[in-house]
Structure formats: C-alpha cells, structure tokens
C-alpha cells in the first residue's frame, strides 16, 4: 500500500484505443491493498480488458459487496459509478440496477467470503436468473480484512497461516455456477495476466450471466506452504483447458489456425470467441462434460482454468421478463402513468 | 326468550365456513348485493394460515350510518362449519338468529333457547339436486345466499345481476347459479318465517364509492406513481400487492408498438434480495418497490440502513400482521411501527405513511415514490392486514392529469457539462437533500462511489470524525425537511370542542370515527387527530398541548406510536394514555369507547390519600 497520490498527468504519447482513450483513462484511485495482493492484478486486468475493448468507462456500473475484493472497484474505472453494497448482497443490487437500465455493462466484483459464505444464496440466484453481467470472484480462500480465517472455498486439508487444518469441504464456485445455469463459466488465476485479460474480454462480450472464479492469492494470510491458494501452489497445479486467442465484435476473423486446434463460438448477438484448445477433447459447449471434467481435475489435485463452458444462445433476465428495449429508468409519466381516464374506468369497474 | 333482534340496515351477519370450500365468492356475492342496494356493507375475512380444511369466517357489517369498522357481536350466524359449531352458536348476541344446515338433527344441548333457529336441510337439498360432489359443495354456498335473500329481504334481481356480471360469457354457469339461488330462496320461503327481524331496505348510502382491498389499491398507486421495478418475496398478508401490481401492469403497461413490458417484476429468493434489487434499481434511476410484512422487514434491516446512509430511494409496502416472530400471519396488528421507524443499526430514522383505507393506500402508494426520490431515502407505506386484505368501500381513486412525477434532485448530462459543482453529499440547497447522478450520465463528470461506510461530501471514504458528524447532521436536517413534505394529520374536533383528545392512525380510523360518535352520545365528546405520517407534523405536538387528556389508540401491545411520540416530539409520558387492542382482530368502536370511558371514570375518582382528612 502506498500513500502517494496518483499523478493525473498523462504521457503525451500513450497509445489510445478506438474511442480515443488511453489506459490511464480506465484507472481508478490508488489501491490500498497489500503490496503483491492478487486482487491488484485483477484490477489491472480489468483496466486492460476494458481499454482493449474500447468500452466507454462511464457506461460500466461496478458493484461489489464487502471485503478486500469488494474494495477494488475504487481502484479501476474512475469514471464509472460504483456501489460498494452490503456483505454478500452485491448480486441483488446488481440485478436491480440491471433491471433499471439494460444499456449499461454490469461488472460485479466479489470475494470468496462474500460469494461462497454469506452471499451463497444471492450468488446462486443471480446466476440462475441469467442477469447480464460479469461476475468476478476474487478467490483467495481466506478472510483477509479480519485476518486469516478460512473461507468456504478453502480446500479440505489446507492449512491456515496459524497452522489450523480446514476440515470442511470446499465450495467450487465454477462447478456450482455450471449447475446453476450460468451461461459463461471460467476460472483463472490472478498470476496469469494474459489468460485473465482474454477471459474478462470474452465475459464482457457475453450476453448473459458470466462468472469468472479467479484464484487470487492473499499475500498476507494465505500464501504459505500448506495453502492451496498460494502463488506457488496455483502455479504448479494450474491446468488451462484452452486459451482465448481472439475476440471480435462483428468483424470477420482474419487469422488462420491449423484445423482442429481452435474452436470458434458465435454468440447470438454476433460476437465470436475463438479459442485455442489445450485439452484436446474438451467441448466448451457441453455443460455436463464440464461438470465431470472439473470433478476429475479436482480429484487429481489440479486446478482447471480457462473458459470452462459457454452457451452461445444464452438469454438474459430481460429476455425472460419481456422488458421493453428502452431502459426502464428512461420512461416518464407518458409511458408509465395510465392517466385519469383509465382510472375512471377502473373506478367504474369497482362499483 | 328475549325479543328477537329487529333492525333495518344495521346488523352483523357472520359466516362460519371451512377453508377451501368455495364459500368466499358466495359470501362476497352477499356483501356486494347489499352494497348494490345502496346500503354500506363492510366484509371482513377471518382466515387461518391454511389452504384447505381449517375454519374460516366472513363477517359482513351492514350499516346504513356508514360505519365501516368492525362492530363486534353477531346478529345472524350462518353456521356452515361443524368444527366450530359450539363457538359459533355461543357468539350470537341474545335475541339473534342462527341459520344452519338441518340435514342431520342437532341435539338441543348444542343449540340455544335465546336465539331464533333457522334450519334448512341444505345438504339434503343439494344431494337431491346435484350428482357431482363438487357441484353439491359449490351450489350449497349459492343456496344459502338465496335463503338469506328471502330471510333478509335482499333483492333477488340484484343478486342475479351480480351473477351475470361474474360469469359473463359463461351462460351455462349463470343458469346453474341462478337455479341454486332460486332454489335456496324458495326453500326458505316455504319452510322458514321470512323475513326475519333483520331486514335490508334499499337506500342511497353508498353513493359513488368504490369497493376494493387496500393491497390492490396500493399496487395501483405504485402503477400510477411510476414504479417500474418490483422485487418481492411471498408473505402473507402482502402477497397480493405484488400480484395486483402485475395484474394492473399487464393491463396498462404493455408497449403498444412492441408488446413488451414497461415494468419488471422479480420474485426474489428472500426479502434480503428483494430490498437489494429495489435499492439497486432506485440507485440506477428507476422507481422501485417491495411489498412485505413484519418478518420481511426484520430481514431487510441491514439494507434499509444502507439506503438511509447512502441515500437511495426505496418504497416498502409493509402490510402488518400479528407479531412477534411468525406470530399470527393471518391476523391484523399495527406492530411494526418502531421496527420501521428506526430500522437498522446505528442512528437511523425513516419516513412512514399511515393510510386509513384503500383510497389512501392508492394515494400514498403513488406519493411514496415522489417522497422517496425527493428525499432519497426509504419510505414505508404502513398498511395492515385489515386494510390490505379486506375489501372496503372508499372514495373513488383520483388522479390529476397535470400531475408530474417529482424525480428529486438529479443532475443530468447538461448540468454536469455546464460545470456545476457536483458532490454527492453536498448540501447545495440547505435542506439536507444532496444532488445525485444516475450511472452513465456523463463520460467524465458526476461519477461517484456509493457505499455504506462513512464518507465526505464528495463521497470519498473517510473515517474522520468531523466529516462523519457533518454528514449525520445533514441527515437530521433532511429528516426535518421530510416533516414538511409528508401528508399532514387530519383533525376532527367535537362541535363544541373538548378537553379530551384522541390520536390514532391507519386502520383504526373507521372504528375511531364511530367510537367518537358513541362517546358523544354518552356525553363525552372528544377531539380527534389522525396521524398520517412520521416524522410527525408540528400540529401533533400542538394538539397534545391543547388537550388536558390525550389518548393514543393503537393495535399493538406496547403502544409503539405513543413511544415514538414521546421520543420524537418530546412529550411528557404522563400526558399520553394508552388505548391498546392487540388480539389480532380488528379494533372495534365498542372497545375504544369502553376503554376511554373507563379510563375517564377512573381518573375522576379522587386519590385515597387526598380523600382522607
């Protein structure tokens, strides 16, 4: 953590993106997390993903719960409205915000305590409703702000910094998300910037409920021998199933790959995700297989990362509810109030 | 035997039924027919937390004088439930009437000598007339309506017209129902002394009033008030608010060009998620509400504190039921007053509105959204089961076509672009209400971070004591501003004025109006002030000052509104006497009048010490 204010000056030759903004335009306030915290890497990846996709920062709404992870939205996208809500309840606040204005991009940031313990219910229901969002869990397997208690994603048998051994079964948020019907499920590692940035970009382009379970080591309380969420452990057990090479909007794909090594997924809104396969037989559109695959890798003590599942025909909550294309928050009396004549008719029917 | 009761257009009929037997629509038909004869009739459904099999009652108070509160007592019992026979027979006033199914003989010991017995073999008639068991049950209900019509002089053509409206387009059903109705009427005429002493006579006491339940009225208020997002979790007695909102939206809020919805309704996984969605939607500039009851408010506490402190509008319809805990889910109380007024940890205060009937449920249901956005804070509309789930005659709904929504202080793109200073918690207008921006309003201006933690005027996180205190003081000022914006109290003084004052609110209203008449008839006139909102208007404290003795009439055990008055208006506790009714039944005029009269009589007795020389 540093106490120096962030300079506002930009280098005059900083590269700009398609809407003329530089990377600096996507930054936020300076982080107050511990030096080396995985969460800061995730913030940097979000900044890069949004910059590279040339998203207007103010059209993103960033929402979070409570905890170290939930502090991070202050540290990126300074021109976006942020909402640091209640512990474990970000998904409901995000759902309501999304209902009010379907035109913004919703980025939910949460942690393992926030999503897997106190907020497991809201995590589940936001995913099963298909809220159009990117839900990033910054998963470090530990309660950081209260100094080192196990969280619900701590693996059975893993050791706390003080030496206690966790006896409870871990909740696999990616596995759970698959069960719950999330239409984009990925896992990543804060130490693998390239993978995380490409997954974030793909998630931001996915028109449905996208979840990224991102292992993000806690340098203060969960980076020791015996932890299964330390930098060393995750580096040695990370097994990526694929690499997203190119994400395009509606432009044609110009790069050629050897047949059989890549797979292209065209989503119903026209966006295309092109993936380079690392696990030869892995079919990212097969949910049942993904669930089995995750279970198999877990048994081997490996951490499967990459895009685990995508439903290219995903529909979101607005489609389910049949809401009008105009954001609800833009409707006025003329669209909303049935008026005095309609009321007279209602009165007449009640006599 | 005492003289059989005799009364025209002023009596109470109570139906004792089995839940799920289809009696509700027949009973409603009876009440509606009386209203169509121009006679004010007020039904109350007394039902268990059950779908089928348990006892349920439906009480219809007929009152030419227009008293809509529960009266207490029963003049005519329609006893259709063997499970509750003994208690139903015992409930009849001396000289009253018992209408019952005499198919099976009833031992004398289970009847009474001081009432008129009106037995008709309903089951036998139905078994003879209908083969299908379901028809036997359903038409038995219509059969007794026909019999009651003959007994009470209820106009048969009025009932026929209502049946025709109800089953419009289903001619076969109309014919079958008319047959049962006429059969009941004819059997009663043939075998019973028609009419009895209780009679209906056409009147003009209903006027242009409408008949609707408070929950539907509140939901319609939300439609008119511009609510677009509703998030809710089913809980008795509030469920029908969300259901009615959906029904009215389907009728009035479909975009004609696309057939798409100008509303979004989500049945949440629990009340925490429901209020979370409301807060998220309102933060993002939509008008949003939830409907719940006491247990739901308990669950929402943390979020309500966030909305208070982060200053986000929210409308909460609390249809109160008997507490604490699960309490009496299908009985009425006004027992969430303190829970809502001070919801959540830390120093919090919330705006409460107390509608007296469906008409005010509609009006406050719409106004709550203006208040919530103007004040940027949660606003509670405090209904209860008695108002919410019972249909009641009330003044027609009104809407001024020139009315515009008050969206409160929102800086849009143009104001931000013009360079106007934006600080989310800056008090530019010195009324305690800051300006806000909606997400996405401007590329480089107006963004801020919303949080439940302490912050400075520019929404920057701080734990500095001075900045925290500054913010809390501004919130206090904002609550003062609210005092001037919420509905004012309504005062009804005795013609000559009185030294006795009565404060009351919400569903107590019709019983209190009648109690004031009862007391005046006994020579004890009272001045009445109906409180319609918290924070309390200055007129409330003035009213208390003006009166020697002040009663606070409430439907809870702990005198919650009285406590709120003591705390917030700094009233001397000795000044406010309690009149409390909390057994879950609606408060009655008789109860209030007795309690006040008894208290006044006691206070007139000189203390012993002074009496002794």
Burial B401-423 (b: 16+ CB within 10 A, else e): eeeebeebbebeeebbeeeeebe
Q: Are A317 and A95 in contact (CB under 8 A)?
A: yes
Complex confidence, ipTM: 0.95
The answer to whether the CB atoms of A84 and B450 lie below 8 A apart is yes
Structure tokens at B270: 């629990």
3-class DSSP state of B97: strand
Residue A253: pLDDT band with limits 50, 70, 90: very low
Taking contacts as CB-CB distances below 8 angstroms, the residues of chain A near B280 are 63, 83, 85, 92-100
Rg value, chain A, Cα: 21
Whether the predicted pLDDT of B607 surpasses 60: no
Nearest CA in chain A to B443: A58
Residue A4 has pLDDT above 90, yes or no: no
For residues B201-225, one letter each, b for 16 or more C-beta atoms within 10 angstroms of the residue's C-beta and e for the rest, the string is eeeebbeebbbbbbbbbbbbbbbbb
Q: What is the mean pLDDT of residues B343-348?
A: 98
* Partner residue facing A336 (CB), from B208, B231, B262: B262
Q: Are B452 and A336 an interchain contact pair (Cβ–Cβ within 8 Å)?
A: no
Tell which of A8, A54, A55, A96 to mutate to test the B interface (max B CBs under 10 Å): A96
CATH of B212-394, one of 3.40.50.300, 3.40.1710.10, 3.40.50.970, 3.90.1150.10: 3.40.50.970
Of the two residues A252 and B185, the one the predictor is more confident about is B185
Nearest CB partner across the interface for B224, out of A129, A324, A337: A337
pLDDT at A5: 62
Nearest by CB to A93, which of B226, B276, B405? B276
> What are the residue ranges spanned by the domains of chain B?
7-199, 212-394, 413-474, 490-604
Inter-chain touch A58–B441, beta carbons under 8 Å: yes
pLDDT over 60 at B609, yes or no: no
Check: CB of residue B88 under 8 Å from CB of residue B18. Answer: no
pTM of the model: 0.96
The string of DSSP letters for B367-413 reads: HHHHHHHHHTSEEEEEEEHHHHSSEEEEPPP---TT------SB--H
Do the strands B500-504 and B264-267 form a parallel or antiparallel pair, or are they unpaired? unpaired
Closest Cβ–Cβ partner in B277, B396, B400 for A96: B277
CATH superfamily of the domain spanning B7-199: Pyruvate-ferredoxin oxidoreductase, PFOR, domain III (3.40.920.10)
| CA distances in angstroms from A64 to A82, A109, B314, B334, listed in the order given | 8, 5, 20, 36
Q: Quote the CA–CA distance of B523 and A277 in Å, as a whole number.
A: 93
* Domain B490-604 = CATH 3.30.470.20: no
Contact (CB<8Å) A97/B252: no
Identify the DSSP state of A293: H
Question: Mean pLDDT lowest for which of A157-161, B192-196, B317-321, B345-349?
Answer: A157-161
Q: What is the DSSP letter of B185?
A: H
Tell me which H or E stretch contains B596. helix B589-604
Å between B479 CA and nearest CA of chain A: 23
For residue A179, the tally of other CB atoms under 10 A from its CB is 14
Closest by CA position to A77, among listed A26, A7, A148: A26
Over the stretch B179-196, which tens digit does the pLDDT of each residue have?
Answer: 999 999 999 999 999 999
Please tell me the distance in Å from B448's CA to the nearest CA on chain A: 5
Mutation choice for A interface testing from B208, B248, B259, B284 by most A CBs within 10 A: B284
Q: Which residue of A has its CA nearest to B221?
A: A337
Q: Dump pLDDT digits (tens) for B132-164.
A: 999 999 999 999 999 999 999 999 999 999 999
Domain ranges of chain A: 23-334
With contacts defined as CB-CB under 8 Å, which chain A residues touch B444?
58, 79
Cα B59 to Cα B14: distance, rounded to the nearest angstrom: 4
Phi, then psi, of B318 in degrees rounded to 5:
-105, 105
DSSP-derived 3-state class of residue B18: strand
For B344, B384, B403, B480, the CA distances from B329, given in Å and listed in that order, are: 23, 11, 38, 35
Instruction: Closest CB to B405: pick one of A74, A321, A333.
Output: A333
Residue of B215, B223, B405, B389 whose CA lies nearest to B291? B215
Kindly report, residue by residue over B308-333, the tens digit of the pLDDT: 999 999 999 999 999 999 999 999 99
Token pair for residue B516? 């004031």
Q: What is the pLDDT of residues A78-120, one digit of tens each?
A: 999 999 999 999 999 999 999 999 999 999 999 999 999 999 9
Contacts of A121 in chain B (CB under 8 A): 269-270, 273
Secondary structure of chain A: what % helix, strand, coil (to 5)? Answer: 35, 20, 45
Using pLDDT thresholds of 50, 70 and 90, give the confidence band for residue A264. Answer: confident
The C-alpha atoms of residue B516 and residue B528 are separated, in whole angstroms, by 8
Closest by Cα among B121, B191, B188, B182 to B157: B182
* Cα gap B105→B584, rounded to integer Å: 35
> Could you say which DSSP state residue B84 is in?
G
CB contact under 8 A, A99 and B303: no
CATH for A23-334 is 3.40.50.970
Position A21 pLDDT exceeds 90? yes
CB-closest option in B209, B255, B265 to A324? B255
């Amino acid at each position: 953590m540093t106490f120096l204010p962030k300079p506002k000056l930009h280098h005059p030759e900083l590269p700009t993106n398609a809407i003329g903004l530089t990377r600096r335009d996507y930054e936020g306030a300076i982080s107050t997390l511990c030096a080396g915290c995985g969460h800061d890497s995730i913030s940097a990846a979000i900044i890069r993903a949004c910059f590279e996709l040339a998203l207007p920062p103010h059209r993103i709404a960033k929402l979070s719960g409570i905890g170290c992870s939930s502090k991070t939205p202050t540290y990126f996208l300074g021109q976006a409205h942020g909402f640091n809500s209640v512990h474990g309840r970000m998904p409901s606040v995000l759902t309501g915000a999304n209902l009010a204005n379907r035109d913004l991009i919703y980025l939910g940031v949460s942690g393992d305590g926030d999503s897997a313990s106190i907020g497991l219910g809201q995590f589940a229901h936001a995913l099963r409703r298909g809220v159009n969002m990117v839900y990033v869990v910054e998963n470090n397997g530990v309660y950081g702000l209260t100094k080192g208690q196990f969280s619900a994603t701590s693996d059975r048998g893993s050791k706390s910094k003080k030496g206690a051994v966790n006896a409870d079964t871990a909740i696999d948020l990616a596995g759970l998300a698959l069960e719950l019907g999330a239409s984009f499920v990925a896992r990543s590692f804060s130490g693998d910037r390239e993978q995380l940035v490409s997954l974030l970009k793909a998630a931001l382009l996915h028109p449905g409920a996208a979840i990224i379970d991102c292992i993000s080591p806690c340098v203060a309380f969960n980076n020791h021998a015996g932890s299964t969420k330390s930098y060393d452990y995750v580096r040695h057990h990370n097994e990526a199933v694929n690499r997203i090479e190119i994400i395009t909007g509606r432009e044609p794909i110009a790069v050629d790959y050897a047949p059989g090594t890549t797979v292209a997924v065209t989503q119903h809104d026209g966006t295309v995700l092109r993936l380079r396969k690392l696990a030869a037989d892995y079919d990212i559109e097969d949910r049942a297989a993904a669930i089995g695959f995750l279970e198999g890798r877990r048994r081997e003590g490996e951490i499967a990362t990459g895009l685990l599942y995508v439903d290219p025909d995903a529909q979101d909550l607005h489609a389910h509810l049949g809401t009008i294309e105009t954001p609800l928050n833009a409707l006025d009396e003329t669209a909303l109030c049935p008026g005095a004549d309609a009321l007279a008719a209602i009165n007449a029917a009640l006599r | 035997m005492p003289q059989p009761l005799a009364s025209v257009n002023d009596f109470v009929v109570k139906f004792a039924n089995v839940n799920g037997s289809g009696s509700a629509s027949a009973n409603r038909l009876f009440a509606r027919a009386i209203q169509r004869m121009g006679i004010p009739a007020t039904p109350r459904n007394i039902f268990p937390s059950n779908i089928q099999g348990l006892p349920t009652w439906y009480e219809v108070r007929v009152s030419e004088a227009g008293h809509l509160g529960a009266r207490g007592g029963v003049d005519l019992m329609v006893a259709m439930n063997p499970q509750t026979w003994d208690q139903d027979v015992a409930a009849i006033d001396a000289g009253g009437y018992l209408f019952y199914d005499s198919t099976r003989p009833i031992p004398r010991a289970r009847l009474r000598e001081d009432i008129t017995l009106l037995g008709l073999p309903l089951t036998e008639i139905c078994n003879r007339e209908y083969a299908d068991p379901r028809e036997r049950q359903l038409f038995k209900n219509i059969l007794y309506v026909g019999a009651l019509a003959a007994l009470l002089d209820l106009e048969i053509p009025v009932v026929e017209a209502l049946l025709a409206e109800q089953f419009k387009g289903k001619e076969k059903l109309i014919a079958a129902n008319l047959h049962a109705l006429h059969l009941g009427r004819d059997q009663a005429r043939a075998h019973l002394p028609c009419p009895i002493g209780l009679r209906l006579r056409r009147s003009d006491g209903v006027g242009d009033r409408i008949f609707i339940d408070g929950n539907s009225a509140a939901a319609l208020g939300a439609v008119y008030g511009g609510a677009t997002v509703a998030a809710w979790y089913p809980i008795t007695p509030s469920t029908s608010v969300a259901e009615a909102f959906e029904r009215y939206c389907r009728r009035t809020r479909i975009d004609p060009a696309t057939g798409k919805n100008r509303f979004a309704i989500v049945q949440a996984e629990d009340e925490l998620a429901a209020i979370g969605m409301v807060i998220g939607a309102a933060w993002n500039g939509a008008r949003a509400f939830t409907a719940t009851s006491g247990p739901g408010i308990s669950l929402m506490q943390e979020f309500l504190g966030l909305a208070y402190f982060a200053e986000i509008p929210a409308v909460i319809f609390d249809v109160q039921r008997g507490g604490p805990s699960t309490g009496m889910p299908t009985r009425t109380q006004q027992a969430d007053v303190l829970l809502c007024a001070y919801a959540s940890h830390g120093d919090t205060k919330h705006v409460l509105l107390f509608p007296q009937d469906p008409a005010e449920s509609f009006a406050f249901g719409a106004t709550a959204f203006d208040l919530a956005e103007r004040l940027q804070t949660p606003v509670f509309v405090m209904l209860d089961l008695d108002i919410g789930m019972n249909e009641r005659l009330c003044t027609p709904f009104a809407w001024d076509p020139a009315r515009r929504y008050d969206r409160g202080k929102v800086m849009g793109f143009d104001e931000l672009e013009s360079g106007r200073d934006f600080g989310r918690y800056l008090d530019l207008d010195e009324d305690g209400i800051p300006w806000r921006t909606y997400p996405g309003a401007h590329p480089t201006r107006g963004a801020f971070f919303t949080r439940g933690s302490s912050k400075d005027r520019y929404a920057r996180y701080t734990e500095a004591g001075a900045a925290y205190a500054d913010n809390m003081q501004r919130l206090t000022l904002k609550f003062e501003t609210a005092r001037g914006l919420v509905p004012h109290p309504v005062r009804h003084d005795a013609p000559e004025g009185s030294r006795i004052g009565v404060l009351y609110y919400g569903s107590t209203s019709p019983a209190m109006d009648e109690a004031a008449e009862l007391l005046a008839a006994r020579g004890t006139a009272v001045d009445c002030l109906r409180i319609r909102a918290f924070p309390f208007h200055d007129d409330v404290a003035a009213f208390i000052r003006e009166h020697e003795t002040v009663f606070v009439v409430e439907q809870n055990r702990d005198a919650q509104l009285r406590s709120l008055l003591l705390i917030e208006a700094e009233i001397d506790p000795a000044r406010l006497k309690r009149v409390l009714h909390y057994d879950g039944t609606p408060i009655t005029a008789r109860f209030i009048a007795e309690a006040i009269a008894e208290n006044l009589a006691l206070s007139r007795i000189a203390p012993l010490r002074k009496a002794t020389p």
